[in-house]
Amino acid sequence: MSKKPAPAPVVTLEDVARVAGVSRATVSRVVNGNASVAAGLRKSVEKAIAATGYVPNLAARSLVTRTTGSIALAVSDMSAGQIFADPFFGRVVSGVTQTVRPRGVQLMLAIVDDDPSRKQLLNYLRQGHVDGVVLVSTHTDDPLPADLAAAKVPAVLAGRPADPLPVSFVEVDQQAGVSLAVDHLVALGRRRIATASGPLDTPAGRVRLEAFRERLAHHGLTESAWAEGDFTQAGGAAAMRTLLERAPDADAVFVASDLMALGAVSVLHRAGRRIPQDLALVGFDDSNVALTCDPPLTTVRQPVEEMAAQMAELLLEQIASPERLLQSRVFQPELVVRESA
């Protein structure tokens, strides 16, 4: 009669600490998602965990830390179809994931596209099913940022809130990015510059349009035409058709997003306009869409993955130390020059 194989020995925190060459307390902080551990020590512990096959007792950890080991990524005021069609959101997911996954933190996606789903998410958060939320809110009148602040739920916003709120946020310097675009077009000798803005009920749409007009004025110019889009490819195409009607002699267009610029390019091709000879084009984002344009798109790069990683980092710090002061970070953009301008 064959003997049953002996059960594998249980790997303890002490075993991991011995392999990593650190203290048990350091291993415990890494396992519990404490953001205060230095990156080098964290990496050593994570390698030791992989080498030893250590599996944390999540139930015990939850009792000690009073956390669930999970966070939510909530996207507000957009449908699922819009979210998955826009490369911006994929980049946000990538940046958040690369921060939380090595720490054993699970990520839940929440799509908030109406009032019932907003209330459902708030109840879910208040009941402690996740430890906090990274929020991508797209409209200025979205009540969710204020609701999160009132509920004292750990939260970090993608972008500055429309109204001052006691909540951390991460954003790109929108004004600086638009200035880079306008300065580049002016340096090319373009003087009849139009713009296809984002929707003006979004902070990004409004701020980029205001910054565009301010920078033109700085150069002693006024816009040749303006048309409002909606940050989609179809919206960019519609805005470009409007601009061709309003300013047929425009020699450049600043488009408020790469996805809109892709739609604008298709309209210009059909209209027989050469890019950049007849009309120079600059976008905003530097997503993978910029490389699928014909010609490849000159655009303002916002480091979305790095910004999203910072949002997740700030949220984990807030969860680990609730008494910590709220923090915000503004990233600097850069102009990526390709063939469209």
What would the DSSP string read from start to end of 252-283? EEEESSHHHHHHHHHHHHHTT--TTTT-EEEE
**Least confident span in 27-41, 109-123, 148-162, 216-230:** 27-41
pLDDT score for 59: 47
Reported confidence tier of residue 194, pLDDT bands at 50, 70, 90: very high
The Cα 75–Cα 82 span in angstroms is: 11
Higher-confidence residue: 302 or 87? Answer: 302
Laid out side by side, the sheet with 280-285 consists of 226-228, 193-197, 252-255, 280-285, 298-301, 334-336
Q: What is the pLDDT of residues 257-291, one digit of tens each?
A: 999 999 999 999 999 999 999 999 999 999 989 99
> pLDDT exceeding 70 applies to what percent of the chain?
91
Reported confidence tier of residue 1, pLDDT bands at 50, 70, 90: very low
Which domains are assigned to the chain?
A: 13-65 (1.10.260.40), 70-171+304-332 (3.40.50.2300), 174-301 (3.40.50.2300)
Check if the beta carbon of residue 257 is closer than 8 Å to that of residue 196.
no
pLDDT score for 332: 96
Give residue 84's identity as a one-letter amino acid code.
F
Question: 331: which strand partners?
Answer: 172
- The pTM (predicted TM-score) of the whole model is 0.77
**Least confident span in 2-16, 87-101, 130-144, 166-180:** 2-16
pLDDT exceeds 60 at position 60: no
